[in-house]
């Protein structure tokens, strides 16, 4: 068996930050490794303090006046940044859009099964798109589709808010539910 190399190259996961003599500002606000404020001082003095502690002076933000720098080991700072970025990506992916399909004339058993799926998705924290396809002459009975969605909304009142009201798109009726934080709606005042 021949092994083939992937044509995709791994992107460099290096995070570039300005350190020590790469910082070209006359003064910086210096933080300790724990985040405590040391004070505002000339950049050269801050670099010499960092070197005495066998650490690096890492520029945290350039936009502040004066810029903020931290005395920390470069590898440790990069690791913390990677962890923070990973957490942000994880939170961004957390909410997905799931779709559950209904029909206008479905039996109560089928309705309960689909409703269970909607509730499970909402409990996981995912948004749910409800779609109801009208086939053949059932398009003439749109009110049955709206009634079906009203039943779903009534069953999920504590778990979700209606993000998009039911609307006809072609031959389909579409709505969207958004989960409520902590699984409980705030009391109406």
Report pLDDT digits (tens) over 85-108. 888 887 776 677 899 999 888 899
Domains of the chain and CATH, by start:
20-92 (3.10.20.80), 97-183 (3.30.110.10)
Q: Give the 3-state secondary structure of residue 113.
A: helix
pLDDT at 8: 56
pLDDT at 188: 46
pLDDT at 189: 40
Positions in the chain whose pLDDT score sits under 70 = 1-14, 93-94, 182-189
pLDDT at 24: 86
Write the pLDDT tens digit of every residue in 133-157: 998 888 888 888 899 999 999 999 8
User: How far apart are the C-alpha atoms of 61 and 79, rounded to whole Å?
Assistant: 17
pLDDT at 93: 66
Q: Which of 84, 20, 16, 14 is nearest to 58 (CA)?
A: 20
pLDDT at 131: 94
pLDDT at 117: 94
pLDDT at 13: 57
pLDDT at 10: 52
User: How far apart are the C-alpha atoms of 134 and 141, rounded to whole Å?
Assistant: 9
CA-to-CA separations, 15 to 32, 79, 80, 108, in angstroms, rounded: 21, 9, 11, 55
Beta-ladder partners of 97 = 127
pLDDT at 126: 87
Q: How many residues does the chain have?
A: 189
pLDDT at 21: 83
Q: Give the 3-state secondary structure of residue 126.
A: coil
């Amino acid at each position: 068996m021949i092994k083939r190399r992937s044509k995709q190259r791994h992107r460099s996961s290096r995070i570039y930050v300005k350190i020590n003599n790469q910082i070209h500002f006359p003064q910086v606000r210096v933080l300790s490794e724990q985040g405590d404020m040391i004070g505002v001082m000339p950049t050269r003095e801050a670099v010499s303090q960092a070197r005495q502690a066998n650490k690096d002076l890492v520029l945290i933000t350039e936009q502040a006046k004066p810029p903020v720098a931290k005395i920390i080991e470069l590898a440790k700072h990069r690791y913390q940044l990677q962890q923070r970025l990973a957490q942000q990506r994880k939170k961004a992916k957390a909410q997905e859009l799931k779709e559950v399909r209904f029909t206008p004339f479905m039996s109560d058993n089928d309705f309960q099964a689909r409703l269970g799926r909607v509730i499970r998705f909402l409990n996981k924290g995912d948004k749910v798109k409800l779609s109801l396809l009208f086939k053949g002459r059932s398009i003439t009975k749109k009110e049955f589709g709206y009634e079906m969605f009203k039943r779903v909304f009534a069953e999920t009142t504590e778990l979700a808010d209606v993000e998009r009201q039911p609307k006809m798109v072609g031959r389909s009726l579409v709505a969207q539910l958004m989960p409520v934080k902590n699984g409980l709606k705030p009391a109406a005042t």
